Chain A
Amino acid sequence: MKEYLVLRVITKLLLPFILLFGLYVQFHGDFGPGGGFQAGVIFAAGFVLYSLVYGVAAAQKVLPTGILRAGLAGGVLIYALVGVANLILGANYLEYTPLADTMKEGQHLGIFLVELGVGLTVASVMMTVYFTFATWRED
């Protein structure tokens, strides 16, 4: 799509806002509607838009397979390990209370970390699925 100047400029203009909105949904998920899943999808949508306009190769330069794979696995690992951290601190699995001094802070921190893992995995999965289909015929 090299010739569509408007699309290229608008995409560049929109991209930071899409990513910022993704981060907003991620970190504001415990106060308002949102959370890791939605944020991950929005975040990935930004990259999908970029790759639609600038080409898959350009997008894969930003997000190489190795990083995506690490994100895929890392997100699940964050989720599971936050649970284990609670076990070590003497509470039940995924019981966030002992993560901080007060129960409220603990719960807040716990859900924050867990949702971070969710967002990371969802964004990586979305991009992996997209790249898999987008590069299907280039093999």
Chain B
Amino acid sequence: MLLAHLPALVIVIPLICAPLCVLLRGKDWAFIVALLATWASFACSVLLTIQVMKVGTISYAMGGWAPPYGIEIRLDALNVFILLIVSGIGSVVAPYARNSLLLEHIEERAYMFYCAYLLCLCGLMGVAVTGDAFNLFVFLEISSLSSYVLIALGSDRRALTAAYQYLVMGTIGATFIVIAVGLLYQATGTLNMADIANRLPEAGYTNRTVIAAFAFMVIGAGLKIAIFPLHQWLPNAYTYAPNIVSAFLAATATKVSVYILLRFVFSVFGVEFSFVSLPTAIPLLVLAVLAMFLPSIVACFQTNVKRVLAYSSVAQIGYMVLGLGFVSVAGLTASILHLFNHALMKGALFLVLGAVFYRIGSCNIDRMAGLAKQMPWTMAAFVGGGLSLIGVPLTAGFISKWYLILAALEKGWWYIVVLIVVSSLIAVVYVFRVIEAAYFRDAPDDLVNVAEAPISLLAPAWILVFANFYFGVETSISVGIAERAAQSLMGAG
């Protein structure tokens, strides 16, 4: 009986547990509730994935109102894949919260952190499950508002300005999305995404309302994703947020935004409208290539390693948009696959930096000099995540780049292949700068006697590093789901 209600439970569990954290107040109680809620959501996601892989699309009528009139929860391969990413990363990151310095910094209000974290999780998963365009906006706002709070918790005072900057840009993005939804509603008279897709051809592809809706949606989602020229909020937000929050958001928030773009451009507007009647592919490809290079080059000159990773995130988003711009099943497979793989590598790297910060109180590259001697396990994890970020064979990063190159070759665009390889070489530079400092330089005098990070911080980081290697060898799960999702996205057009 409960199995039929899993699509609702997956978001209801964190929603119920968030206020519970506030009511229980105790630091330990809130931690236990948050941990169990996250794990329960992950279990639901896994069960849902198995179900979707077996029987195909699942539809659940919220409140018993039949779609398209009521709010529908609609799960296909893409939805469950995003659910798996978000709840999976959440499950690894949640136990890390207890020992990260964040909670000592806000000792009295630790339960507020868990509440905001659960709401963020609920919002992100809500975006991933809903089949209703307006409902998607509501969940997006839940996740965004709570993520502003989470970022502002950073111990550095600049976290406040970073959060405010993100709030302004994020709100503009969300407003654009809701304007797009409003215009679509005007053009088609429905809010259910599948229903909009059915009715759009009727409204006509030259309908200016629909074209305006499309423009608002792409720009709005672009702001949330941090597509290259719209990425200004991201480096500060990731740098000054508490380490655990950087890890969680870097691995999930932009991924969910990419999902919004994929869902609307491919499923709702359809390939025919988005790429045949409008010239969307070329600007996306140009921006993607710029994103692969410029932020990567900027990353090479940063002294704060968190900032290096943040700029690298902007660059990695370039790969996802690139695959999207190919408008082929192969390209989309690469894009969706990279959503997953990038979540693994960035999650791992940010968790490692959290462990470094725990011991030396800084993520500055000069302070990290010689750290490999004192914290061998931590830095080894960094090397593992870094290799995956570069795309070395046997890591998850290699798999997504491999599929991206295959997709480019399929189109016959060999110069894109060259660009992908060259941009990976820039990643070698910024990852190796950190490794060089940690392994081949002498430690600063005051940091000679640093102990290894505690196991409670190392274990989550190593789980993700291990996942990077696991999904770099055993690809049947990740590629299998990504391929099915890509096929259904292209087929819907």
Contacts and interface: CB of A to CB of B under 8 A. Distances in A.
Nearest to A69: B22
A104 B209 CA distance: 39
Nearest to A77: B19
Given A90-B1, A95-B64, A72 B8 contact: no
A53 interface: no
Nearest to A98: B64
Nearest to A117: B19
Interface stretch (B10-18, B235-243, B329-337, B451-459): B10-18
A94 B19 contact: no
A75 to B, nearest CB: 8
A6 B354 CA distance: 59
Contact of B16 (A69, A70, A84, A96): A84
* Most chain B C-beta atoms within 10 Å of own C-beta, residue among A69, A74, A81: A69
B208 interface: no
Contacts of A90: 1
Given A76-B18, A81-B16, A94 B23 contact: no
A93 B62 contact: yes
A72 B5 contact: no
Contacts of A73: 18-20, 22-23, 115
Interface in A43-94: 69-70, 72-77, 80-81, 83-84, 87, 90-94
A97 interface: yes
Contacts of A69: 22
A74 B23 contact: yes
The binding surface of chain B is classed by DSSP as helix
B61 interface: yes
A10 to B, nearest CB: 36
A93 B63 contact: yes
Contacts of A95: 63-64
Contacts of B62: 92-94
B462 interface: no
Interface in B64-105: 64
Find the residue from A72, A93, A95 having the highest chain B CB count within 10 A: A93
A90 B115 CA distance: 29
B12 A93 contact: yes
B33 to A, nearest CB: 12
A74 B60 contact: no
Given A92-B60, A92-B63, A95-B63, A74 B8 contact: no
Nearest to A93: B8
A60 B96 CA distance: 37
B128 to A, nearest CB: 17
Contacts of A94: 62-64
Given A83-B12, A92-B5, A74 B64 contact: no
Contacts of B18: 73, 76
Interface residues of A, number: 21
A35 B111 CA distance: 30
B122 to A, nearest CB: 10
A7 B12 CA distance: 46
Contacts of B115: 73
B22 A91 contact: no
A87 B22 CA distance: 24
A101 to B, nearest CB: 17
Contact of B23 (A70, A80, A83): A70
A91 B64 contact: yes
A42 to B, nearest CB: 23
A69 B19 CA distance: 10
A87 B23 contact: no
A70 B12 CA distance: 20
Given A87-B8, A90-B1, A93-B5, A77 B16 contact: yes
B63 A80 contact: no
Most B-side CB within 10 Å, residue of A70, A74, A77: A77
Interface string B281-322: 000000000000000000000000000000000000000000
A80 B22 contact: no
Nearest to B119: A76
A16 B461 CA distance: 57
Contacts of B16: 77, 80-81, 84
A92 B61 contact: yes
Contacts of A92: 5, 8, 60-64
A92 B67 CA distance: 13
Contacts of B15: 76, 80
Given A73-B23, A74-B19, A84 B63 contact: no
Interface in A12-47: none
Contacts of B20: 73, 77
Interface of B: 1-2, 5, 8-9, 12, 15-16, 18-20, 22-23, 60-64, 115
8 contacts: A73-B20, A73-B23, A75-B19, A77-B19, A92-B5, A92-B64, A93-B5, A93-B62
Given A70-B23, A72-B22, A77-B20, 17 more contacts: A69-B22, A73-B23, A74-B19, A74-B23, A75-B19, A84-B16, A87-B5, A87-B8, A90-B1, A91-B64, A92-B8, A92-B62, A92-B63, A93-B8, A94-B62, A94-B64, A96-B63
